[in-house]
Structure 1
Amino acid sequence: MSAPAKTATKIMSKLPHAKITPHRSSSRGHSDHGWLNSYHTFSFAHYTAPTHQQFGSLRVLNEDRVAPLTGFPTHPHRDFEIFSYILSGELTHRDSMVAKSAKVASEGSNHDSSKNKKDDLYRMSRGDVQFTTGGTGIAHSERNEHADAEVHFLQIWAVPWTKGLPPTYHTATFPDEAKRNKFVTIISPLKTGPGATAQEERDAVPVVHGTIPIHADFVMGAGIVARGGAAGWRVGGGEGVVEEVVGRRVFLHLPMRRVGARVRVDGETVLEEGHGAFVEGVDVGDEVWVESIGEGEAEVVVLDSS
């Protein structure tokens, strides 16, 4: 689990062997289509960044804002693990498989599925994560059906350990209270690994209970660190979670929530809202500390890959 919060001024560099490279918000790709305002950390669509094609199995990190009564029409995906992390507003997901998707009973889940999930849609709000295994092929739409408020979310893609997987969906809620001054694991590898049987794929048991299973040696976490506080992310999600224990790649992202957030990573690297940091050369057992040094609380997303 996560380490307890500490006073930010007491945190010193804990990882002298790590290489930490900031990625400023101004370095991201940006596209504004009117209905969609999107920032791209990695090459995506018409944005090409030769030095930022992929980081481990992490392939896409887009920070999106979708205007009211607009959204992504039905479109296909295949052979990627794709997930959305909702920061504010509501995003409605539709496809032909939603009724068959699994809703993970995450710790502190505050969703009543009878109110939010119908046979043909799932309406997501703050703290919700919607996960898609594209596999052999799947199509869905994502739309902001609210009349007044935009929806702000992260869309993330990871490369799976094999192609041709059966398409699946998972949804789960990770409320703010569970993430206060600590990192909570949200996604962890499928427990049975690349050799999973058809039944094991249907059972969809993750290594970490209460998380969403992913077909990759990959972990996602998130934490909300109060002003003046600090929290540590245990590389690899802790002991026994991932296969690759040496030389992992961890990407930290501080979303643009417009609350005056600012953080310091491992006692040195300072990130503003919209910035990220590539952390390389870390091993399972290491701990990456994040201090909140801004005016507002800092919501930090961690993407930890082999």
Structure 2
Amino acid sequence: MSNLTHAKIVPRPSKTRGTANHGWLDTKHTFSFASWYDPRYVQFGSLRVLNEDRVQAGEGFPTHFHKDAEIFSYILSGELTHRDSMQKKGAEADDKNTFSRLHRNDVQFTTGGRGISHSEYNEHDRDWVHFLQIWVLPWKRNLPPTYHTRTFPEEDKRKGFVNIITPLKAGPNATLEDEKAAVPTKEGTIPIHADVVFSAGIIPPGETFHYKVGAGDVVTSKSDRKVYVHLPETKGGKSSIRLDGREDAVLKEGDGAYVTHVNANDMLQVENVGAAEAEVVVIDSE
């Protein structure tokens, strides 16, 4: 039975995503990206890119430039190595925000701002890496470029949805000192320059988690939030979830759903109706 009768939930089947297989890279795009364009799928709120990527060992994305985008990678399996434009292989620094070898449960975040360059490679000698790359449009252009890297323990995500990214506490008018301090609205999360919350949970079979829209009071825009739910392809098709108890809102692996007409503090029910645990990510924007 629906608990959010005022909410509109529209599933987005995996088969509608853009796909490309370059041999070393198998990628699926929820929104128009690179050479794939569909005017129906350009963005949702501040969410501009949601790519599910698999990269072969020894391959990756060479140094490339980003500007005016908030970009983060959520590692599902394997290993992904991030280097900024100053870091060369074999000359690794101790600073995890300029060099980081990411594994499952790690999140690497970049503020492109006025311009930044980095590379992302799978430097493992055998295993593919499977990760989500997500881009959010910032509330302001020409911000100071920054990096953040943090681990979010798996055991916490098995207890309920974990908030991973929340807005920069100082807001759009942050000073340079505020930017350097990088304080998020919720302690222990990564700060983003947008009214956006990114969360993840790992739901055991037969169990139900509840996602609190807007993570409560951490967002500025309280009404008509735009929530995108995505179920990554992690269990060979054995995972499946149902949103808000609705029979027409059942998602299989690779599917997503647009949830609209919801407000901060609304509770979205996410039920695992599959045979395997379901790792669910939520991007919640103004």
What interval of TM-score do these two structures reach, taking the shorter chain for normalisation?
over 0.9
Deviations 1:110-163 (A, max 9, x none): xxxx99856962100000000000001000000001111100000000000000
Gaps of 5+ in 1: 1-11, 99-113
Structure 1 Cα separation of the partners of residues 151 and 258 of structure 2: 27
Structure 2 Cα separation of the partners of residues 218 and 168 of structure 1: 17
Aligned to 1:76: 65
Contact 2:206 2:272 survives alignment (8 Å): yes
- Check 1:195–1:125 CA distance in 2 against 1; reply closer, same or farther (3 A cut): same
Structure 1 runs (4+) deviating above 6 angstroms are: none
Q: 2:264 aligns with which of 266, 277, 284?
A: 284
Whether 2:228 is the aligned partner of 1:251: answer yes
Counterpart residue identity of residue 255, structure 1: P
Contact 2:167 2:197 survives alignment (8 Å): yes
Whether 2:26 is the aligned partner of 1:48: answer no
Question: What is the CA-CA distance between 1:180 and the residue it aligns to?
Answer: 0.5
Counterpart residue identity of residue 287, structure 1: M
- Structure scoring higher RCO (CA < 8 A, sep ≥ 6) equals 1
Alignment of 1:5-154 (within 5 A): 12-96=1-85, 121-154=99-132
Deviations 1:235-265 (A, max 9, x none): 0011x21010000000000000024110001
Counterpart residue identity of residue 172, structure 2: P
Structure 2 Cα separation of the partners of residues 122 and 298 of structure 1: 27
Aligned to 1:297: 277
Structure 2 Cα separation of the partners of residues 119 and 54 of structure 1: 28
Equivalent position SS for 1:37: strand
Contact 2:170 2:178 survives alignment (8 Å): yes
Contact 2:240 2:278 survives alignment (8 Å): yes
Counterpart residue identity of residue 232, structure 2: P
Contact 2:63 2:85 survives alignment (8 Å): no
Structure 2 Cα separation of the partners of residues 218 and 56 of structure 1: 9
Structure 1 Cα separation of the partners of residues 156 and 139 of structure 2: 30
* Cα-Cα RMSD: 1.7
Structure 1 Cα separation of the partners of residues 156 and 250 of structure 2: 25
Whether 2:161 is the aligned partner of 1:183: answer yes
Identity of aligned residues (%): 58
Aligned to 1:3: none
Counterpart residue identity of residue 14, structure 2: S
Aligned to 2:140: 162
Structure 2 Cα separation of the partners of residues 305 and 59 of structure 1: 11
Q: 1:272 aligns with which of 252, 258, 263?
A: 252
Gaps of 5+ in 2: none
Query: Aligned pairs, how many?
Result: 280
Q: TM-score, normalised by structure 2?
A: 0.95
Structure 2 Cα separation of the partners of residues 137 and 147 of structure 1: 31
- Check 1:270–1:119 CA distance in 2 against 1; reply closer, same or farther (3 A cut): closer
Deviations 1:10-29 (A, max 9, x none): xx311111110000110100
Counterpart residue identity of residue 64, structure 1: D
Contact 1:117 1:123 survives alignment (8 Å): no
Counterpart residue identity of residue 33, structure 1: H
Equivalent position SS for 1:278: strand
